[in-house]
Structure 1
């Protein structure tokens, strides 16, 4: 009943279009790059974040745009799907919920992914929105057991290539790159200590952003920039894009990224970075980390940065004097951005942060030192009130360190 009701509404407004089979970003040699856009949200998207919701609707065609809501990842898909559709409709869309979710009662997700009516409704829409949850449910539903595309996944690619928008939050963001976190440890440090295993910690995503950019979410509040690094090295990614909660990275057809939302995003650039493979523990040298604030832009093709409105270069004459900058928990909530802001607003050239686990962890004495250094190609911008910063191309080095145990004793 739910399925028939959803798609009676969906098909009433969906326009027919020719089916296009997509095998990945860029597809076959005969296919042009997608004309559509991506809205990649780092999770925790609030109903009152009008800028992000409106951007999705605008990119889908504006008022009256048909947007297919996929609650595929959700534990409670009926609730999550209806809330997302409600938020989109509040901003002018005519969203419909796609009944394609492993946790949806009375629905077979794999069967729904091959349903011609569902595929046609998605193909004729102006956009799609993936809710949060477990990203493995999305890829497990939209990909066939042999790894091929389902009919609905082909329809998504067709819509995206034609000029539609694909948006996703949390799990819906993770699927955007060709590799995604699948079932990693909850904490970041174990990924640095022990690396990642294909098919367990990481698995193939849907690759809407292409083969060259790795995506992660919930980034600043959970210190996840660090867990991106072993994956990027293992899979050969030179660029990583990590988006924080209640924030979106909007990727246009020219591959320019614009940050919209509450906080910002990090760009990790390993183009000139190296790692000493002879050493058994994770290490990294000469990487670049950049913080993009609301309104900032970054071009994935030429790697150029453009600060948002109201930003001016930091006045070097006004930089503060500090004895040193040293954080004992660089993976804490927004710690990396706080440290970078203090670094570029000081006369110091270098700042240091540590990352360790607690005494009950596996190998508690092993940790990592992160060093951040201003280099000639670094750039820093700030608003006049000094409440919004843009920080580009700070050098980052990571090396393993050992802490004496016990760390402390009670007096």
Structure 2
């Protein structure tokens, strides 16, 4: 009898221990399972993406494409306070994650591949961007960035980082092409200087203005990249001619060679890092293009002085430019030029 009692107790104990403790889903008082955090658009993470609060400094990086400039990304990391890094792109891989993580101490690096307007309007995607302490926009095709991101929650999140949270934000190649208030959208493909000079109103010369990113110190600017490597001086001059004629604005341009970056701090002082040159050029409202019409070769001569230009080499003691005055911080080492166009032929002369 005693053995039977022990056996019954053991069976009851086994049943009790084996009971499924999963809450009854039909019980209204049962605890709700915790939702899994959404990582929509994420294609790779290194580190801990827990939101952190760091002391950040605003800053803008305009990188000219080609091999990335380590010094520029280190500059951004230092200004991020070591927080969360987010890389945006519409094609490609998460290769930036390991590269950036190796350059300095950061909480995490995550790449978001945002290749549709649906993803660009996803609140979860925008949330990840808003939590960043450093944002970098990879190269690719700026037509994708304009087409997918303009007017979406992603655009609003980037502008929040730029103007409210004030963190370092930068881009290379196509990622730099969208940083100006005026921008070449590349909707109809790449544009050679020869095409723009021969027909400044070709559909390929499609420019946008005042409807995308609101980048400090770049609200009167258009940017260009891969500059002398792809002979883009002519097309950038045409861009400023179009902006002047179409919108009545004497705009400014910042063009950056490959393996070179312009890093603008919170006070508007730009430092040129890397191995090549950056170019800063501006129009004069009193010097309008002489011939700028559809299917006609451009003439913007003004006695050979259509645009005032500064060329500054990277990595020297004078490699700084004041974005407020739009003049070199130190004139020694900065090369002054005039740019002009006559009958579709771009030229440069010393000032």
TM-score, normalising length from structure 1?
Answer: 0.62
The match for 2:64 among 42, 51, 56 is 42
> Does the CA-based 8 Å contact 1:268-1:290 persist in structure 2?
yes
The match for 1:195 among 192, 197, 200 is 200
1:155 alignment partner in structure 2: 157
* Structure 2 counterpart SS, 1:87: helix
- Report how many residues are paired: 284
Stretches of structure 1 that go unaligned for 5 or more consecutive residues are 18-34, 103-108, 308-378, 382-389, 403-411
The match for 1:391 among 328, 335, 351 is 335
CA–CA separation in structure 2 for the residues paired with 1:116 and 1:86: 26
**Structural mapping, 1:48-63, within 5 Å:** 49-62=69-82
Give CA deviations for 1:310-330 in whole Å, capped at 9, x if unaligned: xxxxxxxxxxxxxxxxxxxxx
CA–CA separation in structure 2 for the residues paired with 1:301 and 1:231: 21
1:138 deviates by 1.0
CA–CA separation in structure 1 for the residues paired with 2:61 and 2:45: 27
CA–CA separation in structure 2 for the residues paired with 1:401 and 1:52: 36
* 2:272 is aligned with 1:252: no
The match for 1:302 among 325, 330, 334 is 325
CA–CA separation in structure 2 for the residues paired with 1:14 and 1:214: 34
CA–CA separation in structure 2 for the residues paired with 1:11 and 1:89: 12
* 2:276 is aligned with 1:263: yes
Q: 1:16 to 1:290 in 2, by over 3 A?
A: closer
The match for 1:233 among 228, 241, 250 is 241
1:67 alignment partner in structure 2: 85
Give CA deviations for 1:353-382 in whole Å, capped at 9, x if unaligned: xxxxxxxxxxxxxxxxxxxxxxxxxx653x
1:156 deviates by 1.5
1:180 deviates by 2.1
CA–CA separation in structure 2 for the residues paired with 1:221 and 1:189: 15
CA–CA separation in structure 2 for the residues paired with 1:5 and 1:303: 39
CA–CA separation in structure 2 for the residues paired with 1:228 and 1:278: 14
CA–CA separation in structure 2 for the residues paired with 1:84 and 1:264: 24
* Between 222-231 and 178-187, the greater mean CA deviation after superposition: 178-187
1:360 alignment partner in structure 2: none
1:85 alignment partner in structure 2: 97
**Structural mapping, 1:204-353, within 5 Å:** 204=209, 206-209=213-216, 210-235=218-243, 236-271=249-284, 273-277=287-291, 281-284=297-300, 285=302, 286=305, 287-295=307-315, 296-307=319-330
Stretches of structure 2 that go unaligned for 5 or more consecutive residues are 1-37, 244-248, 346-351
CA–CA separation in structure 2 for the residues paired with 1:40 and 1:401: 28
> Does the CA-based 8 Å contact 2:72-2:263 persist in structure 1?
no
Q: 1:191 to 1:231 in 2, by over 3 A?
A: same
Q: 1:187 to 1:198 in 2, by over 3 A?
A: closer
Give CA deviations for 1:27-54 in whole Å, capped at 9, x if unaligned: xxxxxxxx721111011134xx421221
* Between 275-284 and 241-250, the greater mean CA deviation after superposition: 275-284
How large is the RMSD of aligned CA atoms in angstroms?
Answer: 3.0
CA–CA separation in structure 1 for the residues paired with 2:49 and 2:205: 41
* Structure 1 counterpart SS, 2:113: coil
1:11 deviates by 8.0
1:289 deviates by 1.6
> Does the CA-based 8 Å contact 1:2-1:99 persist in structure 2?
no
Q: 1:243 to 1:110 in 2, by over 3 A?
A: same
